[in-house]
Amino acid sequence: MKILTVIGARPQFIKAAAVSAAIQQTDGIQEVIVHTGQHYDPNMSDIFFKEMSIPKPKYMFDLGGLSHGKMTGRMIEKIEEACIKEKPDYLLVYGDTNSTLAGALAAKKLHINVAHVESGLRSFNMRMPEEVNRMLTDRISSLLFCPTDLAIENLKREGIQYNDVHWVVKTGDVMLDAFRLFQPYSTKIEGLPDQFALCTLHRAENTDDLAKLTNILSALNQISDEINVVIPLHPRTAKVIEKYNLKFAQGVKLIEPVSYFEMIGLLTSCSFVLTDSGGLQKEAFFAGKACITLREETEWVELVESGFNQVVGSDKSKILSAFKNIENVKVNPKLDLYGQGDSAYRIVKELMKMQKEFG
Ligand code: UD1
């Protein structure tokens, strides 16, 4: 069986590392990797391939830094060419980025079955490009790998359920696999304060809205009076900060984007997490840390219901009151919310099973 994997953005490299490792340990399955180039800086891309031994992409495009339409359109064209050349049995995509949607569309129109990892997640906010990407990808996927029961319910509500068109399977979350697999390689970054809050910020809804961004920065500056805040800065956010000459207090330490091993190190040594990332909310939980989510809603509601995650958006007073409450949040990373860390194997098993049944 041949699989064409399409990845392009940082979180996809991490998820693909776990699944590629499982593919490599399985007989009778060959993986060809396509990198769209959506993320292209060495510390947003190359470092992840090296560190996690992800197989080298056979196809590498140069399609980052474009508008949504241009980026997605050009990706479809290039991925279509790769599909025609490789004739894969399945095209495998991850998550909710423009690379995900482009891969799914290119394959489906060539009647190649699409397999979607991290299927069924919803924020119910259609202004997010990610929500559009994942809904459309789920609609045209044949194999839908869901991390949670809620993801399966979300799909059902949209009329997508297990039948001969959609093979919907709960596999658990591959990010837990990756976290467990790479935790032994956790790397410490030198020169950081002993105690700090870890913050990441890159969502378009925050970075493209100056009022929201300045509210968040003002809250972070105030928090840094009590505890240092370390921010590995995403290029999107760095550009906006430079453009508007936004200022940080002394207690806020900006660093370059970090590798996955360094991120595990930061998660291990931080006091708590503030983020608008999807993945980091879960990684905070895996590391046993409380999270404050700088978005209006989250796809990972299990963490909110368990009391581990406070979703506060960009409202300064809400961020600060979540901070005041942070000491009361006790996170139990052993709670089974995202499976057993064997999702990558389950995914590979399902792919083999489907191939046997449907060819
Ligand atoms: C993308 C995903 C988002 C995911 C995130 C992870 C979409 C719609 N969004 O958002 O779901 O959570 O990746 O990081 O696909 N840039 C660089 N260097 C890089 C990468 C990006 O300078 O290596 C710049 C781009 O030129 C652009 C900006 O950062 O100006 C945003 O990049 P883009 O890939 O469009 O979206 P992300 O914000 O990274």
CATH of residue 14's domain is 3.40.50.2000
How many whole angstroms separate alpha carbon 198 and alpha carbon 289?
10
Residue 263 and residue 352 share a domain: no
Under the banding of pLDDT at 50, 70 and 90, the label for residue 357 is confident
Tell me what pLDDT residue 317 has.
98
Q: What confidence tens digit (pLDDT) does each residue in 26-36 have?
A: 999 999 999 99
Tell me what pLDDT residue 23 has.
97
User: Ligand 1 centroid vs 142 CA: distance in angstroms?
Assistant: 27
Tell me what pLDDT residue 209 has.
97
Q: Which one of 94, 118, 236 would you pick to mutate in the ligand 1 pocket, going by the greatest count of ligand atoms within 8 A of its CB?
A: 236
Residue 12 and residue 158 share a domain: yes
Residue 139 and residue 202 share a domain: no
Residue 152 and residue 295 share a domain: no
How many whole angstroms separate alpha carbon 175 and alpha carbon 332?
17
Give the number of the atom of ligand 1 that is nearest the alpha carbon of residue 65.
26
Q: How many domains does the chain have?
A: 2
How many whole angstroms separate alpha carbon 254 and alpha carbon 201?
11
How many whole angstroms separate alpha carbon 177 and alpha carbon 179?
6
Tell me what pLDDT residue 151 has.
98
Question: What's the mean pLDDT in 98-125?
Answer: 98
Residue 348 and residue 300 share a domain: no
Q: Does ligand 1 have an atom closer than 6 angstroms to the CB of 44? A: yes
Question: What's the mean pLDDT in 84-100?
Answer: 98
**Closest protein CA for atom 19 of ligand 1:** 39
Question: What's the mean pLDDT in 117-122?
Answer: 98
Q: What confidence tens digit (pLDDT) does each residue in 223-266 have?
A: 999 999 999 999 999 999 999 999 999 999 999 999 999 999 99
User: Ligand 1 centroid vs 178 CA: distance in angstroms?
Assistant: 21
Question: What's the mean pLDDT in 119-136?
Answer: 97
For 103, the enclosing helix (H) or strand (E) is helix 98-108
The answer to whether the beta carbons of residues 281 and 291 sit under 8 Å apart is: yes
- DSSP 3-state of 143: strand
The verdict on whether 202 is a catalytic residue reads: yes
The answer to whether the beta carbons of residues 98 and 70 sit under 8 Å apart is: no
Residue 314 has pLDDT above 80, yes or no: yes
How many whole angstroms separate alpha carbon 148 and alpha carbon 103?
23
Asked whether residue 181 is domain-assigned, the answer is no
Asked whether residue 284 is domain-assigned, the answer is yes
Residue 217 has pLDDT above 90, yes or no: yes
Q: What confidence tens digit (pLDDT) does each residue in 338-351 have?
A: 999 999 999 999 99
Under the banding of pLDDT at 50, 70 and 90, the label for residue 335 is very high
Contacting residues for 327 by C-beta, under 8 A, at least 6 apart: none
DSSP 57-92: PSEE----SS-HHHHHHHHHHHHHHHHHHH--SEEE
Asked whether residue 274 is domain-assigned, the answer is yes
Please report, as a single letter, which amino acid is at residue 302: E
Through-space distance between the first and last CA atoms of the chain, rounded to whole angstroms = 9
Asked whether residue 178 is domain-assigned, the answer is no
Residue 158 and residue 24 share a domain: yes
Q: Does ligand 1 have an atom closer than 6 angstroms to the CB of 281? A: no
Residue 226 and residue 138 share a domain: no
Contacting residues for 329 by C-beta, under 8 A, at least 6 apart: 272, 290, 307, 308, 310
Q: Which two tokens stand for residue 147?
A: 């991390």
Q: Which two tokens stand for residue 15?
A: 């998820």
Residue 344 and residue 324 share a domain: no
Question: What's the mean pLDDT in 214-223?
Answer: 98
Asked whether residue 182 is domain-assigned, the answer is no
For 202, 215, 251, 295, the CA distances from 314, given in Å and listed in that order, are 13, 6, 20, 7
Tell me what pLDDT residue 358 has.
74
Q: What percent of the chain has pLDDT over 70?
A: 100
The dihedral sign for the CA sequence 253, 203, 116, 78? negative
Residue 142 and residue 6 share a domain: yes
Q: Does ligand 1 have an atom closer than 6 angstroms to the CB of 41? A: yes
Q: Which one of 45, 97, 299 would you pick to mutate in the ligand 1 pocket, going by the greatest count of ligand atoms within 8 A of its CB?
A: 97
Query: Half-sphere exposure (CA, 13 Å, Cβ side) for 257?
Result: 21
231, burial (CB in 10 Å: exposed 0-12, middle 13-18, buried 19+): buried
The dihedral sign for the CA sequence 253, 294, 213, 62? positive
Question: What does pLDDT average to over the chain?
Answer: 97
Residue 198 and residue 64 share a domain: no
Residue 164 has pLDDT above 90, yes or no: no
Asked whether residue 145 is domain-assigned, the answer is yes
DSSP label of 308: S
Residue 129 has pLDDT above 90, yes or no: yes
| Domain of residue 354, residue span | 2-173+339-358
Beta strands 143-146 and 167-170 are: parallel
Under the banding of pLDDT at 50, 70 and 90, the label for residue 355 is confident
Asked whether residue 8 is domain-assigned, the answer is yes
Q: What confidence tens digit (pLDDT) does each residue in 275-309 have?
A: 999 999 999 999 999 999 999 999 999 999 999 99
Residue 217 and residue 86 share a domain: no
Question: What's the mean pLDDT in 55-64?
Answer: 97
